[in-house]
Amino acid sequence: MWTLRVVLAGGRESGLEPVLRLGQLLAVRGAQRRQLATAERQRALGAVYTPPEIVDFMVRLAQPAGRKCRVLEPACAEAPFLSAFIQRYGNTHELVGVEIDPEPLHRARLHVAQATFVEADFLLWEPSIPFDIILGNPPYGIIGDESHYPIYLLKERKRLYRQRSRTWFGKFNIYGAFIERAVELLRPGGKLVFVVPASWLVLDDFQRLRSYLAQAGGLQVYYLGKVFPGRNVSAVVLVVEKGGRGLQLYDGVSTLRVVKREYSGEMIRFETEEWSQFEREGMPLGRLFHIRFAARSTEVRAHPAVSNKPQPGHVPVLTGRNLHAGWIDYETCYSQLWMLKSRASELRDFYGFPHLVVAHTKGTRVVCALDERCYPWREEFHLIPRVQGLDIVAILRHLNSEQVQRYVSELYRDFVPHLTASMLQRIPVIGDFSHVKQFDFTQPS
């Protein structure tokens, strides 16, 4: 079992508390004889380098209020942000970089001699004096087992991170913990400028983080899209002015699209008058349907009526690839799993009656079809009516309509690579529901 070993970090930054170094972590994982290749180590620590034009933009946003500010770059690697900060604002500031990986840190010390560098885990590091400006590009990724998750070198620390965080929720993502910790280390009136994935704007796992940020300060969010070469991640620059209020959402670096004088942690979307009106006029889909996930892959595989060869009476277990707007391909077996159709409802009771299926994995698009034949599924959302008397065919057409596609793609862009249950729940359904029986708005979907 892994035990926490604490060593003093060798930084020149004053007031340092004991923090763990990466070398110690590798040692306790028994990896001291196995030199991790640099590229692999960087991948496992979430290293992605920031294009210089983004560094420039962020350094402009981080403009210091005085001549001697305390400036921090967490997860600094070779400290591109500190270096650009000096070029733009001169040498008078007190600059600190924190990095867990000694290799890039060594180069940072050579390149940015004016700064103080600390080899430490930023999430466990305890400086004694807060900062005026914190800027940079924190690591991204879910921490967990090497087999499933990118950030596996820090796996043993996950419990400790979670204990120290007030916003950690669900699988979370290391960048969320960096945002929270950085905001804590700002002095009142101080400013955070981070480039991070856009997923925190909409995912439920970041609900606590959004609420925390809403209370901590005024937010500016600059949506940049997929600006990291070779990475399929949509990014935003987040600015937090500690102690301020409200939210501003920019499309790109300068087009202000959404202004909220009061913000309290709700999803951050490209709201427009057209879509607000659509939402006011329609009934949210989540009020009309329970939105359920398909049976998980492991569950399907383990079921005694499922086989990996077609057999008499068996039908394909369907996946997202079988689902198309308005129709289902019942023939092709993409899952390579077959099941006795009469037992499909043992996996999920709703497989036993016709219902609407909506794609989860086709980007931020709504793709819906009616499963009339009651097949087993391994993926996608399943819509189970909460009320009697719904016109299922009209709702199916509406969900596949051009208007709904525009609603979803304009509000959520490509913040995440898939449609989420929360997005689906909010889709307005236009129609007269006065004849619909058994409304029960008190029950959560």
Contacts to ligand SAM by CB under 6 A: 45-50, 75-77, 80, 98-101, 104, 121-123, 136-137, 139, 154
Instruction: Say how many CA atoms lie within 13 Å of 183 toward its Cβ.
Output: 26
Could you tell me the smallest distance in angstroms from the CB atom of residue 33 to ligand SAM? 22
Nearer to ligand SAM, 49 or 334 (CB): 49
Name the residues annotated as catalytic: 137-138, 140, 228
CB closest to ligand SAM, residue no: 75
Nearer to ligand SAM, 171 or 406 (CB): 171
Exposure string for 206-241, b = 16+ CB within 10 A, e = fewer: bbbbbbbbbebbbbbbbbbeebbeeeebbbbbbbbb
Could you tell me the smallest distance in angstroms from the CB atom of residue 49 to ligand SAM? 4
Nearer to ligand SAM, 126 or 372 (CB): 126
Could you tell me the smallest distance in angstroms from the CB atom of residue 54 to ligand SAM? 8
Nearer to ligand SAM, 37 or 280 (CB): 37
Nearer to ligand SAM, 5 or 373 (CB): 5
